[in-house]
Structure 1
Amino acid sequence: MKTKKLRLALILASAALLSACGSNGNGADSSSSASPAASGGSGSSGSGGGKVTLTISRWAGPHADDQKEMLKQFEQETGITVKMDDVDYAQLQQKQTLNLSNKTGEYDLVWAQEIWIPEYIKNGYLLPIDDYVKDDSLNPKDFDFADYNPNLIKIVTADGKLYGLPTFIQLPIMVYNKDMLQAEGLTPPKTWDETLAVAKHFHDKGTGIALPAKQGQAAVDVFTSLVRSNGGDYYGTDGKLNLSGQANVEAARFWKDLNAVAMNGSATWHYDEVTKAVQSGQAPIGLTVSGQVGSLEDQANSSVAGKIGYAPLPYSKQPFGTLSVWNWCVAADSKHPKEAYELAAWLTSKETEKAMSLKDGQMPGRQSLFSDPELSAKYPFFPAVGEAMKQADTQPLSADAPKLMDGLATALSAIAVGNTDPQAALAQVQQDMASASGQ
């Protein structure tokens, strides 16, 4: 084993000898290091002259396992070793916060959900990456920053500074059985009125539309898209909560009307049950989430593979999507911030995103991939997701957002089962929020 002193001397003597140094054995997912690629990456030398090992934090599971295999390519191209700390989703934010708040320097790159980003930025956990984005030597050849969906970039931007690169998006979409619609002489719906007409047609025949109307976040995500598709929002131009605005009330009434022609049981369904109802051929039309629609095309387990059409959620004035997105962010206390950014850029490059999408259906943060012929052939729902992303935003990310989401979930459930007037339900949430804030 060579000492640090000897290693430094070797680096100064010849860069070629660096690639001959032994690999770092940290992390079961690391592969043997190779010489840095000639394409201009930062290579394996850190500021102290030693080998760079990056630690990334993300949730565990099949997607993480696939990513570990992909990371071997990055290691071979750059000579940088990557160690993945993948933990259960339920513990991820807590573990990230513990390390970032205590400035342990343990993590170089963290995978953060959009709802965590404001807190992470406010507390100084993340490093602005604007200067790195401008440094071509740190970016893959196919980087093209303009290809990131601008709605996603807005989520990781604060005070004019960029704090992450987006990937792995989710949003609700509409699915329909093309054969069942064609058999009834119906065309795929797009607007609120068209969707109500199709749902009523099938409801009169004993089925209807499958909805995630169970009290919870799925119903709120769908409703938020409906509100914004009607030109509404939860907050007025003065920044104050305004749930009783006309556009919001109209969306709530549409939600009530849609539930009136929903499949039996929808009032207790989440996305899982909606997807299963469509997959089994029971539901002619439904509202589910992009991360589940791949199962509809599973030839081995789906009775409707090849028969499903996809579209953004029903809209009043224009399609609108409610986004959830994961982002690669450089930790403010990273010992190797430049190399950490280089990894983030590689992970979200067009080539890597496409490879991960082909591997497991990951929804990328790059707009161009949703019209990629190879991806669209394998995943026919990609164009619809891309269309929904053109006008899209997250749920409100303000400090009182969790309480608002809970209140809306309760109200939408009551509206769905016909227990309350839509306008009165929204007014009650408004009142409860005001009382909670002492207004």
Structure 2
Amino acid sequence: MKKGICIFATLFMLVSYGLVFAGAAPKKGKELKISLIAGFPTNIGIKSLVSEFEKETGMKVTFIETGYGAILEKNLVDLSAQTGAYDVLHVESIWFSEYLPYLYPLNEFMEDSELFNEEEYDLEDFTSYTPLTMDVFSRDENLYGLPHLAGIPLCFYRKDLLDKAGLKPPKNMDEYYKVAKRLTQDTDGDGTIDIYGCALSAKRSAIVDEWFSFFFSYGGGLPDRPEQYTKMTFNNPTALKALKLYKRLYDECAPPESMTWEFGEVGSAMQRGVVAMMWNWSNSGSWYDDAESSTVVGKVGASVPWPGRFGVNALGIPKDAENKEGAFKFITWATSKDITYKVTVAGGATPCRLSVLTNPELVKERWWFEPLREAGRYARMYWIIPEWSAIDDALAIELQKVLTGDISPEEALRRASDNAYKILEEAGYFD
């Protein structure tokens, strides 16, 4: 019988290990190949600071950036062929189970007091934000990655448009629809909508994350373990209510091209001033105050009207890495307090460390940090299992068919529920 994969709390296990690189240096002169997901704001900061690491260690760092939609498949092909293509991997939490067979546990490095100092590194700085930050990358008392980036979807809204209409930021999904409806406007009377009430991340690769926030907000969710899944998990009145509202927003309040949009395109729409509100990842917050690319500088706020998926990303070491010790030193450097702060300043990333998220100077400039901290209290996780990508896609296909009008919301949820059950059944979860 295939056992469900559980998320274990790891802090107590790690306390006994020293954790921060100190005096011992890896082999000098060796190259480190770092695989990163392209477009993430942490990349800007890490690349701007990496010369410090290279100078300290004598190693040359090469970054290999691949788009979100392609990196998992590309990296798994390389890892399964044991090409030694990477020394460090950027691991998105929902892909952790797929990467796990190829990841090297970090415990042996943690036990080396010559390499790490627990007090300086401060694991509690991660877990005091939310325990999920560390739990997700642990299996059977082994840790396979250190967090370097977190994200939770927030409601970003145009403060000036809400004020002009005498509206307040929405506190729940029903209010979100009402405000979006009010703010969808033909401002010049030419019969064409100039400002849409909201943008949707309705592309096949993004729609499930957004719809789940709607589902969560009405009280829906996943059972604790995939073995507890039933065909009613998605096919129920709560899921139907969430999907019908999502359809209404698409039909009445969102740009028609939303089905081709994910977080980048949605953020761009806000920057261009063509949408009044949107669901988007917290990492996009800095975009709206970027004077070079945004027309809405100083006009955007954020709130938390829904629970959202906690998306945490870690840096891990593949089993076939040529320089594991050097890779580990890079990981601890990149996720240390000092570098996390500098990366956040340089690239607008969302930090995993509470000390950085609550830094008074940063909070003053980054107005989305305060709602983000609140969002951490309600954050959810999907099952971290290899089959989740297939379940996500099965849901996405049916949700998009509702938006195009090809099938009803009821039929979409029935199909999606049946397909998800089949995926789990074939994987042995119900044996």
Opposite residue 244 of structure 1, the aligned amino acid is N
Instruction: Kindly indicate whether structure 1 or structure 2 has the higher relative contact order, using CA contacts under 8 Å at least 6 residues apart.
Output: 2
* Structure label with greater radius of gyration: 1
Deviations 1:58-84 (A, max 9, x none): 13868657524422323444x352432
Instruction: Give the direction of change, closer, same or farther, for the CA distance of 1:391–1:54 in structure 2 (3 Å limit).
Output: farther
Question: What's the offset of the Cα at 1:94?
Answer: 5.6
1:31-50 correspondence runs (5 A): 41-44=22-25
> 1:175 is paired with a residue of what secondary structure?
strand
**What does residue range 42-61 of structure 1 map to in structure 2 within 5 Å?**
42-44=23-25, 51=28, 53=30, 55-59=32-36
Preserved CA contact (<8 Å) 2:309 2:380:
yes
Of 134, 147, 170, 1:166 maps to: 147
Within the candidate set 212, 223, 228, 1:224 is matched to 212
Determine the structure 1 residue equivalent to 2:14.
Answer: none
Contact 1:243 1:430 in 2 (8 A): yes
The answer as to whether partners of 1:178 and 1:308 remain within 8 angstroms in 2 is: yes
Match of 1:304 among 296, 304, 319: 296
Q: Does the Cα contact within 8 Å between 2:34 and 2:62 map onto a contact in 1?
A: yes
5+ long unaligned stretches in structure 1 = 1-38
AA in 2 matched with 1:55: L
Counterpart contact for 2:208–2:392, Cα < 8 Å:
yes
**What is aligned with 1:322?**
309
Equivalent in 233, 242, 250 of residue 221 of structure 2: 233
User: Does residue 1:370 correspond to 2:331, yes or no?
Assistant: no
Return closer, same or farther for 1:154/1:299 CA change in 2, 3 Å cut-off: same
2:101 matches 1:111: no
Aligned to 1:21: none
Alignment RMSD: 3.3
State the match for 2:9 in structure 1.
none
Partner of 2:13: none
Does the Cα contact within 8 Å between 2:90 and 2:314 map onto a contact in 1? yes
Deviation of 1:108 (Å): 3.6
The aligned counterpart of 2:11 is none
Shift of 1:348: 0.5
Q: Which residue of 1 aligns with 2:4?
A: none
Distance, in Å, in 1 between the alignment partners of 2:411 and 2:70 is: 38
Q: Give 1:73's aligned residue.
A: 52
Residues 266-277 of structure 1 correspond to what in structure 2 (within 5 A)? 267-270=258-261, 271-277=263-269
Instruction: Confirm or deny: 8 A CA contact 2:87 2:324 kept in the other structure.
Output: yes
User: Residue in 2 aligned with 1:32?
Assistant: none
Give distance in 1, aligned partners of 2:258 and 2:321.
Answer: 47
Which runs of structure 2 are paired with 1:109-148 in the superposition (5 Å)? 109-121=88-100, 123=101, 125-130=102-107, 132-133=109-110, 137-139=114-116, 142-148=120-126
Compared with structure 1, are the counterparts of its residues 94 and 248 closer, same or farther at alpha carbon in structure 2 (3 Å cutoff)? Answer: closer
Partner of 1:294: 286
Match of 2:247 in 1: 256
Kindly state the Cα deviation for residue 52 of structure 1 after the two structures are TM-superposed. 6.7
Deviations 1:201-251 (A, max 9, x none): 224776552232534122211112222333322457643242114433332
Q: Which amino acid aligns with 1:276?
A: S
Matched, 1:199 2:180: yes
Change (3 A) 1:277 1:71: closer
Aligned partner letter, 1:221:
D
Give the distance between the partners of 1:337 and 1:104, measured in 2 at CA. Answer: 15
Shift of 1:356: 1.0
Instruction: Kindly state the Cα deviation for residue 425 of structure 1 after the two structures are TM-superposed.
Output: 1.8
1:179 maps to what in 2?
A: 160
Q: TM-score, normalised by structure 1?
A: 0.76
- 1:234–1:249: structure 2 CA closer, same or farther, 3 Å change rule? farther
SS of the aligned residue for 1:263 comes to coil
% same residue: 24
1:357 equivalenced with 2:344 (yes/no): yes
C-alpha displacement of 1:98 = 5.4
How far apart, in 2, do the equivalents of 1:268 and 1:40 lie?
A: 45
Relative to structure 1, the CA distance from residue 403 to residue 130 in structure 2 (aligned partners, 3 Å threshold; closer, same or farther) is same
Shift of 1:156: 0.8
**Separation in 2, partners of 1:71, 1:239:** 45
Deviations, residues 288-320 of structure 1 (Å, cap 9, x unaligned): 3334342211123322100111123x32xxxx2
Gapped regions of structure 2 (runs ≥ 5) = 1-19, 187-192
Indicate the residue corresponding to 1:23 in structure 2: none
1:354-405 C-alpha deviation (Å, 9 max, x unpaired): 1111111122222332222222333322333333233324444433323322
State the aligned residue count. 389
